[in-house]
Amino acid sequence: MQRPKGTKDLFGEELVSIRHVERTMGDVFKRYGYEEVETPIFEQLELFEKKSGESVVKQLYAFKDKSGRELALRPELTAPVVRLYINQLRSAPKPVKLCYFGNCFRYEEPQAQRWRQFLQSGTEIIGSARPEADAEVIALSDEIMRELGLSDYELRIGHIRLLREVLAHAGVKGAVQDPIMRAIDSREEARLRAELESARLKAGDEKILRSLITLRGSMKVLKQAEKLVAGLPKAKTALKNLREILEHTRSFGVEKFTVDFGTARGLEYYTDLVFELYVDGVQVAGGGRYDELIKLLGGDPCSAVGVGFGVDRIARALLKRGMIVPRERLDCVVLPAGEEVLSECLKVVRELRRAGLLVDVDLMGRKLSKAIAYADARGAKSAIIVGVKDLKEGKVTLRDMRTGKQELVARKELADKLKTVP
Q: What is the pLDDT of residues 58-85, one digit of tens each?
A: 889 999 999 999 999 999 999 999 999 9
Which pLDDT belongs to residue 72? 95
- Mean pLDDT within 118-123: 97
**Percent of the chain topping pLDDT 90:** 76
Task: Show me where the domains of the chain are located.
Answer: 12-320, 332-418
- Mean pLDDT within 147-167: 94
> Count of H helices and E strands in the chain?
17, 17
Instruction: Report the mean per-residue pLDDT for the chain.
Output: 92
Residue 143: name the closest of 19, 253, 285, 257 by CA.
253
Q: Listing from the earlier edge strand, what are the strands of the sheet with 42-44?
A: 42-44, 70-73, 62-64
Burial of residue 252 (number of CB atoms within 10 Å: 0-12, 13-18, 19+): middle
- Whether 54 has a pLDDT exceeding 70, the answer reads no
Q: How confident is the model at residue 6 (pLDDT cuts 50, 70, 90)?
A: confident
d(CA 389, CA 334): 16
Sign of the CA dihedral running 307, 311, 313, 317: positive
Q: Find the range with the poorest average confidence among 31-35, 155-159, 229-233, 377-381.
A: 229-233
332-418 fold: Rossmann fold (3.40.50)
Residue 139: name the closest of 247, 216, 238 by CA.
247
Burial of residue 4 (number of CB atoms within 10 Å: 0-12, 13-18, 19+): exposed
- Mean pLDDT within 332-356: 96
Q: How confident is the model at residue 196 (pLDDT cuts 50, 70, 90)?
A: confident
Q: How confident is the model at residue 110 (pLDDT cuts 50, 70, 90)?
A: low
Which pLDDT belongs to residue 197? 81
d(CA 282, CA 246): 23
Give 160-170 pLDDT, tens digit per residue. Answer: 999 999 898 88
- Whether 52 has a pLDDT exceeding 70, the answer reads no
Which pLDDT belongs to residue 187? 86
Indicate the CATH number of 12-320 among 3.40.50.2300, 3.30.930.10, 3.40.50.720, 3.60.130.10: 3.30.930.10
pTM check: above 0.85: yes
- Mean pLDDT within 182-201: 85
Residue 61: name the closest of 109, 126, 116, 142 by CA.
116
Q: Find the range with the poorest average confidence among 92-101, 283-292, 318-327, 360-369.
A: 318-327
**b/e sequence 10-22, b meaning 16+ C-beta within 10 Å:** eeeebebbbebbb
Which pLDDT belongs to residue 58? 83
Q: Which amino acid is at 193?
A: R
- Whether 328 has a pLDDT exceeding 90, the answer reads no
Dihedral pair phi/psi, residue 148, rounded to 5°: -85, -5
